[in-house]
Chain A
């Protein structure tokens, strides 16, 4: 089955991307990504720029409303996603548990909707 892993990170996680913690933060991610590649389960994905760089659009009554910032104002924010090809939810949950963001933020597994 195809799943997407949605990675929600805390503000501290986002800050760690560019702070003195850079090496530790990206080191963990690099190792994780490598493990996914070696297992042959990765099918795509991206890390996203921090939520402040987001721009949200809504169209109401034919009128476009543009707002700076992310869609949802929550403690953890979407920081990236990884597409996975895996045999079951259980295997996906194993991978989610190993994700560096799972320890500080949260990781959501969603099956991909196939048309």
Chain B
């Protein structure tokens, strides 16, 4: 029966969304070659778009795609200039794909692929782009837009990383217990970075960037599903969900920037907050506190305002203190200072800021924004700090917000 091209496209889209990463990781884990796996699957998707409208959508689209990808792998082994041992591996991979295509279910190797993408032997700058491309199928142009670099740079970085995966023989395997937590950190960091690209876009004006936030949340959910006993994976998911819950409240009706403390809680998403809280509770059962759980716990305290109407700054300061002690970053130091300023007074906050390294804060916008805010509270001259915070802001609305604050402080 003939099917119209539009609905076929929709079926292909659905398959891509749900199983692209599973299909690529299945093929790559066996060919040990990410590029050839993507290539084979790409060809299979093209031929699906060509033949499905004519012959109908197969009963098991994934099995069909695996079979088609298998043919392409064999061609690749036969014609392309691959090394002799490489050709053998590609043929073996093709065989496995054929076997798997006949089974109702095929193994999920996405976790192994995620660990390959964030492998310590791969340039850290390539971790997140690699993950977005090979697990989610995003193209280089889209990744480039999100990271504000040229598509050529991203493509080059991705090609280099994939060549390295193949030529150095990186294992497609989940690390053993001794290595797991340190290797998982890099995987979580890469997912967090994907989310971060959209968070900086406070405006939420760019629909493409909002899309990347969704993809990051999706990856975090996959990680929790694949590693249910890892509290940090749940911590990351909880953190992202808390941030997502507030997205609608980050802008006022006129598009102006609204800081967290002044956000209208009725615009926060209750279901997302509840889900975040469930993840954080499930993580806490394990009794090991990690960086992402701490970050999520801080956001959880903020989220309580939806119920209590107030913010427990003392609790936030304590979580930040633990973060600064265990996982010191500039962001944690500044967050700690801000929380101390709110709970114990501006002078305490300023003292904490003074303790941070002068060289590294020179171009760190949040440092100057918090400093300006605290100085203004003590009645001291905050003009210069505001000026620096404004100069370092990338977002027009944030600049406007800080200018209003600076104006109020000067009066």
Which A residues are closer than 8 A to B by beta carbons? Answer: 1, 3, 86-93, 109, 111, 114
- The answer to whether the Cβ of B262 comes within 8 Å of any Cβ in the partner chain is no
In B77-134, the 8 Å CB interface with A consists of: 83-85, 121
Q: How far is the CA of A87 from the CA of B170 in the complex (A)?
A: 9
Partner of A93, one of B83, B85, B121, B173: B121
Contact A89 B169 (CB under 8 A): yes
Write the nearest CB–CB distance from A79 to chain B, whole angstroms.
Answer: 23
Name A's interface SS.
mixed
Q: How far is the CA of A109 from the CA of B164 in the complex (A)?
A: 13
- The answer to whether the Cβ of B171 comes within 8 Å of any Cβ in the partner chain is yes
| Chain A neighbourhood of B288, CB < 8 A | none
18 contacts between A and B (CB under 8 A): A3-B169, A87-B169, A88-B171, A89-B168, A89-B169, A89-B170, A89-B171, A90-B170, A90-B173, A90-B175, A91-B171, A93-B121, A109-B168, A111-B167, A111-B168, A111-B169, A114-B84, A114-B85
Contact B121 A88 (CB under 8 A): no
Q: How far is the CA of A89 from the CA of B32 in the complex (A)?
A: 12
Closest residue on chain A to residue B84 by CB atoms: A114
Shortest 9 CB-CB contacts between residues of A and residues of B: A88-B171, A90-B171, A1-B169, A89-B168, A89-B169, A89-B170, A88-B169, A111-B168, A111-B167
Write the nearest CB–CB distance from B181 to chain A, whole angstroms.
Answer: 16
Closest residue on chain A to residue B169 by CB atoms: A1
Write the nearest CB–CB distance from B363 to chain A, whole angstroms.
Answer: 33
Most chain B Cβ neighbours within 10 Å, of A3, A87, A88, A90: A90
Write the nearest CB–CB distance from B89 to chain A, whole angstroms.
Answer: 10
Number of A-B contacts (CB under 8 A): 28
Extra inter-chain contacts (9) besides given A92-B169, A93-B121, CB under 8 Å: A86-B169, A87-B169, A87-B171, A88-B169, A88-B170, A89-B170, A90-B173, A90-B175, A111-B169
B interface bracket (residues with beta carbon within 8 Å of A): 10 to 19
Contact B173 A88 (CB under 8 A): yes
Q: How far is the CA of A109 from the CA of B171 in the complex (A)?
A: 14
| Chain B neighbourhood of A109, CB < 8 A | 168
Give per-residue flags for B173-213: 1 if the beta carbon is below 8 A from chain A beta carbons, else 0.
Answer: 10100000000000000000000000000000000000000
Write the nearest CB–CB distance from B341 to chain A, whole angstroms.
Answer: 44
Contact B169 A114 (CB under 8 A): no
Write the nearest CB–CB distance from B2 to chain A, whole angstroms.
Answer: 47
Q: How far is the CA of A1 from the CA of B88 in the complex (A)?
A: 13
| Chain A neighbourhood of B83, CB < 8 A | 114
| Chain B neighbourhood of A86, CB < 8 A | 169
Write the nearest CB–CB distance from A102 to chain B, whole angstroms.
Answer: 14
Contact A89 B84 (CB under 8 A): no
In B221-247, the 8 Å CB interface with A consists of: none
Q: How far is the CA of A109 from the CA of B175 in the complex (A)?
A: 19
| Chain B neighbourhood of A91, CB < 8 A | 171
Write the nearest CB–CB distance from B235 to chain A, whole angstroms.
Answer: 26
Write the nearest CB–CB distance from A59 to chain B, whole angstroms.
Answer: 30
Q: How far is the CA of A70 from the CA of B170 in the complex (A)?
A: 32
Most chain B Cβ neighbours within 10 Å, of A87, A89, A111: A89
| Chain B neighbourhood of A3, CB < 8 A | 169
| Chain A neighbourhood of B167, CB < 8 A | 111
| Chain B neighbourhood of A88, CB < 8 A | 169-171, 173
Contact A89 B121 (CB under 8 A): yes
Q: How far is the CA of A59 from the CA of B175 in the complex (A)?
A: 47
| Chain A neighbourhood of B175, CB < 8 A | 90
| Chain A neighbourhood of B121, CB < 8 A | 89, 93
Write the nearest CB–CB distance from B308 to chain A, whole angstroms.
Answer: 49
| Chain A neighbourhood of B169, CB < 8 A | 1, 3, 86-89, 92, 111
Closest residue on chain A to residue B175 by CB atoms: A90
Q: How far is the CA of A42 from the CA of B121 in the complex (A)?
A: 22
Write the nearest CB–CB distance from A84 to chain B, whole angstroms.
Answer: 11
| Chain B neighbourhood of A114, CB < 8 A | 83-85
